Structure 1
């Protein structure tokens, strides 16, 4: 009969926050094990001290290293792996002898806890129970007295040991977040928060529920004073009302949502949309952005770009943080140009304007079809609402003469029905009838359709405003795959090269 293994969560530090089950398990165990650094002091044992009996067998699992270097042939990871194997073997000897073993863990045993390394090595061999504990995340929020998540918000837990660029991206995209493992990483985390535009929102919690607890605004914390047992917190963004700012302190951010919304958003764009006071845009694109309490939405028709831009800039002049929502990439036949044109006028010269890139319709369609844009290509809009058809035709001829792959935007709509047929006629004067054409509709959306066909077989009546056309060059290949699909690509090397 073997013993039973317990992973016992002790909570964030205050012994009174241990669960009844944790106290019960420790009291009934034969062996109490706990980890420590090389100094031999164990916070876990300190928390559980009043539940440890004189007749308990105590196993101190002392790490051979923490942050220092090692001459172990396997490096830092190799040294720790050997330690975990040796520690697991010590506990297994007790379990094989029929003793019950309680491994103590600060917080929750399976949340960045040392116990999990014992669990992975022993739980499949012995009866095991994990006793959950209050995490430092919950303790930090409680000590701050600020909600972590509300409504449809999500919480992101981030280790501060990530590279700065990765930290920045994750913080920019997060609704609310907690950054663990500060200490030496604090300067990097602080820079990442600043780069993500979240520093002013960040809170700091040190030794939550323990002696020496400290809380406050993270921006005011001295980096030299930050211990390992501290966290950075970005609380819930849900407010009781709109933000109040001074006139002149607002900004406009033009955000590209990609071809179909959430799956195509960059972390930076997610952050800008979440942090905006007002969302301005074509209603179809606004519908891609989740509604947030306290955030105002201003939808409009697709044909009032200048008016929409002026409206957004006027809001920013009043101190509002405004996100102008655009499909695809805002700089490709989209809202960035309209906003910048209006922002160049005297009344708006002092309004900050940023443009955040998005996945373009051409890139999305190309990825679905293979790599037809793998070599030089030209992007042309077939809409003659803002430029004469003669200009469009001349550009098509020039691109054909240069043997460029073509990405044709805005090929047709209910009011523009002849442009695709005219473009096909012109293209067939310069391209072979079997030139591959990608007909991509609603890429990323519920009605997605991506087909590869010959230029001669392109049917204009099947093309609408939600379609983009990719016309191959003389080098573009289209090959049938074993699964019945057709993949296209344009070689990066020309035969003469």
Structure 2
């Protein structure tokens, strides 16, 4: 649009009014309302508008008022396009009404509670009009900021993550996001309150949650979320989970003897935070003590107030007892494992110790993680698409004779094999011996996936023939996926080689 064309039209403003108290309007918001010819605002079918009531003292008798009345307030409608169709039609009609004023050269100010582009109705006008007319958005204080101010507690500190969620999300999604974040605000309560409460409870965050209703307005109310009557909750309310660090400020710390500790064994997945489940992320953030092999602990962000207890990779039993002893003293302990803690990792060591006195009364939970086998398989295609077996080649905790017997049995059964712990500086011969055993049952051209540091900065995934498998190319950070007689390595049209094992197995003749 040329400057000449712009000069012939009016100007559109999206005006943020703040959370409700007229004194929290910005100077710029007051200036824009004073300059505007047309004041537009959304309202429900009863005709009342919170946005208009906030700005009422700034309105003049000569202002043209455009009341944009929603056609419905629930998702029940006989519109042929359903709820979304009815709303789209309404927004299109409202935009057309404002466009008529703009085309006539009038300045239009669309009022919005809070900030215009933060869950506000103005954004629907903005998307339909801002590319056609000169437009300015005047930011406003959000309801989230107002709620935190009224609670008098920090929302997020340092490197904490603040998550803002609509309460209309499915319960499972709310639960996952609440479990994984440091701080949160859940908006749009009203009829979603029971769902949000269940999500807070399931994520273990209910005790930390605050309820804030109509922050900065005359009918403002705050309370512990768990104590609120669902029947009393309006739409303009929210749940607030403040900073984990700031939420206990000023509160007496209960003694260790007065608290019941627990141990949570957490699977970190094969690499960094992209592979971490929301539940695991939340438990790591909530822990008072982190216990684990130093290399794995380094993958967990440092949080002020948490104690980190690193140890060598060969002291699993001692590490488990140390964690359980901390929990006996009332500490909330997370024991970290790479991949899944139940697959050649710390869950067994912790549960073994926790099954005997003096630790058999300590609560223990195990949180799953994505395994190295799954990660490497996904990078290569789908080599684990049929039955498979998982075997560790380490003879540190079991004799090689047992390993060899299991390899022969799995190979004879024509199972795909996921081979963990294939080699190290002190174990150089196992891979070569395993290859010899497998070649007794598998063709030399059987595909083998070598996945090293999958998900990490030194990731390398290669596909070789079983007969060409070089033990010198394998170390402890490598996992081997050895195909069955049915596994295929196929070069696709784009040149990429993918490995997959059919789900169907040929019937016996």
Q: TM exceeds 0.5?
A: yes
Alignment of 1:45-56 (within 5 A): 45-56=52-63
Q: 1:1-47 CA distances to partner (integer Å, 9 max, x unpaired)? A: 10000000000000000000000000110000000000000000000
Match of 1:468 among 479, 485, 488: 479
Rounded to whole Å, the distance in 2 between the matches of 1:495 and 1:93 is: 70
Rounded to whole Å, the distance in 1 between the matches of 2:216 and 2:122 is: 21
SS in structure 1 of the partner of residue 358 of structure 2: helix
Please name the residue that 1:134 is paired with. Answer: 141
Alpha carbons 1:7, 1:103 under 8 Å: kept = yes
Alpha carbons 1:244, 1:319 under 8 Å: kept = no
Provide the TM-score with structure 1 as the length reference: 0.99
Is 1:96 matched with 2:103?
yes
Q: 1:126-164 CA distances to partner (integer Å, 9 max, x unpaired)? A: 000000000001001110011111111111010000111
Please name the residue that 2:206 is paired with. Answer: 199
Q: In the TM superposition, what is the alpha-carbon distance from 1:68 to its structure 2 partner?
A: 5.2
SS in structure 1 of the partner of residue 222 of structure 2: strand
Is 1:181 matched with 2:188?
yes
Rounded to whole Å, the distance in 1 between the matches of 2:445 and 2:36 is: 78
Is 1:269 matched with 2:280?
yes
C-alpha change, 1:19 and 1:99, in structure 2 (3 Å) is same
Q: 1:378-432 CA distances to partner (integer Å, 9 max, x unpaired)? A: 0000000000000000000000111000000000001111100110111111110
Rounded to whole Å, the distance in 1 between the matches of 2:211 and 2:327 is: 30
Rounded to whole Å, the distance in 2 between the matches of 1:63 and 1:465 is: 63
Please name the residue that 2:323 is paired with. Answer: 312
Match of 1:324 among 335, 339, 343: 335
Match of 1:117 among 124, 127, 135: 124
Alignment of 1:340-489 (within 5 A): 340-489=351-500
Rounded to whole Å, the distance in 2 between the matches of 1:77 and 1:68 is: 8
Match of 2:237 among 230, 235, 238: 230
SS in structure 2 of the partner of residue 375 of structure 1: coil
Rounded to whole Å, the distance in 2 between the matches of 1:216 and 1:346 is: 42
Q: In the TM superposition, what is the alpha-carbon distance from 1:495 to its structure 2 partner?
A: 2.2
Q: 1:187-221 CA distances to partner (integer Å, 9 max, x unpaired)? A: 11000000000001111111100011111211111
Please name the residue that 2:152 is paired with. Answer: 145
Q: In the TM superposition, what is the alpha-carbon distance from 1:222 to its structure 2 partner?
A: 1.1
SS in structure 1 of the partner of residue 263 of structure 2: strand
C-alpha change, 1:245 and 1:62, in structure 2 (3 Å) is farther
Alignment of 1:292-311 (within 5 A): 292-311=303-322
Rounded to whole Å, the distance in 2 between the matches of 1:190 and 1:245 is: 28
Rounded to whole Å, the distance in 2 between the matches of 1:68 and 1:480 is: 50
Q: 1:240-281 CA distances to partner (integer Å, 9 max, x unpaired)? A: 899645435111100000000211000000000000001000
Q: In the TM superposition, what is the alpha-carbon distance from 1:319 to its structure 2 partner?
A: 1.0
Q: In the TM superposition, what is the alpha-carbon distance from 1:472 to its structure 2 partner?
A: 0.2
SS in structure 1 of the partner of residue 193 of structure 2: helix
SS in structure 1 of the partner of residue 324 of structure 2: helix
Please name the residue that 2:81 is paired with. Answer: 74
Rounded to whole Å, the distance in 1 between the matches of 2:298 and 2:330 is: 25
Q: 1:458-486 CA distances to partner (integer Å, 9 max, x unpaired)? A: 00011100000000000000012344331
5+ residue gaps in structure 2? 1-7
Please name the residue that 2:197 is paired with. Answer: 190
CA RMSD of aligned residues (A): 1.2
Is 1:57 matched with 2:44?
no
After TM superposition, the structure 1 stretch with the greater mean CA deviation from structure 2, 244-253 or 475-484, is: 244-253
Match of 1:154 among 152, 156, 161: 161
SS in structure 1 of the partner of residue 490 of structure 2: strand
Is 1:21 matched with 2:28?
yes
Provide the TM-score with structure 2 as the length reference: 0.96
Rounded to whole Å, the distance in 2 between the matches of 1:27 and 1:229 is: 27
Q: In the TM superposition, what is the alpha-carbon distance from 1:223 to its structure 2 partner?
A: 1.1
After TM superposition, the structure 1 stretch with the greater mean CA deviation from structure 2, 19-28 or 483-492, is: 483-492
Rounded to whole Å, the distance in 2 between the matches of 1:350 and 1:182 is: 39
Rounded to whole Å, the distance in 2 between the matches of 1:128 and 1:92 is: 12
